[in-house]
Amino acid sequence: MIELDNDLQSRQNARELVRNAKKAQAILAAFSQQQIDAIVKNVAQEAAHHAEALAKMAAEETGFGNWQDKVLKNRFASLRVYDAIKDMKTVGIIHDDPVKKVMDVGVPLGVICALVPSTNPTSTVIYKALIALKAGNAIIFSPHPGARQCSWKAIEIVKRAAEAAGAPEGCVDGITQLTLEATSELMHSKDVSLILATGGEGMVRAAYASGTPTISGGPGNGPAFIERSADIHHAVKDIITSKTFDNGVICASEQSIIVEGCIYDEVHRELEAQGAYFMNEDEAAKMAALLLRPNGTINPKVVGKTALYLSQMAGFCVPASTKVLIAEQTTVSPKNPYSREKLCPVLGLYVAEDWKAACHRVVELLTNEGLGHTLGDPHP
Supply the pLDDT for residue 217: 81
Does 263 lie in the same domain as 307? yes
Q: What is the pLDDT along the chain (380 residues), one digit of tens a residue?
A: 445 577 778 888 899 999 999 999 999 999 999 999 999 999 999 999 999 999 999 999 999 999 999 999 999 999 999 999 999 999 999 999 999 999 999 999 999 999 999 999 999 999 999 999 999 999 999 999 999 999 999 999 999 999 999 999 999 999 988 888 899 999 999 999 999 999 878 888 899 999 999 998 877 899 999 999 999 999 999 999 999 999 999 988 999 999 999 999 999 999 999 999 999 999 999 999 999 999 888 899 999 999 999 999 999 999 999 999 999 999 999 999 999 999 999 999 999 999 999 999 999 999 998 776 555 444 44
Last residue of a domain, one of 216, 241, 275: 216
User: Global pTM?
Assistant: 0.91
CB 359 within 8 A of CB 311: no
The Cα-based distances of 374 to 221, 255, 307 in angstroms read: 7, 11, 24
- Of the candidates 106, 116, 118, the one whose C-alpha atom is nearest the C-alpha of residue 32 is 106
**All residues at 6 or more sequence positions from 363 whose CB lies less than 8 Å from its CB, including other chains:** 376, 377, 378, 380
Torsion angle defined by CA atoms of residues 109, 45, 73 and 130, in that order, rounded to the nearest 10 degrees:
0
Distance CA 65, CA 201 (A): 20
What CATH number has the domain bearing residue 137? 3.40.605.10
Distance CA 34, CA 45 (A): 16
Does 14 lie in the same domain as 109? yes
DSSP string, 19-40: HHHHHHHHHHTT--HHHHHHHH
67-75 vs 33-49: helix crossing angle, rounded to 10: 170
Does 229 lie in the same domain as 185? no
Q: Does residue 380 fall inside a structural domain? A: no
Mapping DSSP to helix (H, G, I), strand (E, B) and coil, where does residue 201 land? helix
CB 275 within 8 A of CB 324: yes
CB 223 within 8 A of CB 254: yes
Supply the pLDDT for residue 4: 55
Does 174 lie in the same domain as 290? no
For the beta carbon of residue 340, count every other beta carbon within 10 angstroms. 23
Helix H, strand E, coil C: the string for 88-156 is CCCCEEEEEECCCCEEEEECCCCEEEEECCCCCHHHHHHHHHHHHHHCCCEEEEECCHHHHHHHHHHHH
Q: Does residue 373 fall inside a structural domain? A: no
CA 82 to chain centre: 18
Last residue of a domain, one of 216, 234, 265: 216
CB 71 within 8 A of CB 124: no
List the catalytic residue out of 113, 150, 171, 251: 251
CB 55 within 8 A of CB 122: yes
251 is catalytic: yes
**Residue type at 101?**
K
Last residue of a domain, one of 150, 185, 216: 216
What CATH number has the domain bearing residue 317? 3.40.309.10
51-62 vs 33-49: helix crossing angle, rounded to 10: 60
List alpha helices for the chain, DSSP H. 2-28, 33-49, 51-62, 67-75, 81-85, 121-134, 148-164, 180-188, 201-209, 232-244, 264-273, 281-291, 307-314, 355-368
Q: Does residue 346 fall inside a structural domain? A: yes
CB 90 within 8 A of CB 131: no
Does 208 lie in the same domain as 272? no
**Cross-strand partners of 252:** none
Q: Does residue 92 fall inside a structural domain? A: yes
Q: How many domains does the chain have?
A: 2
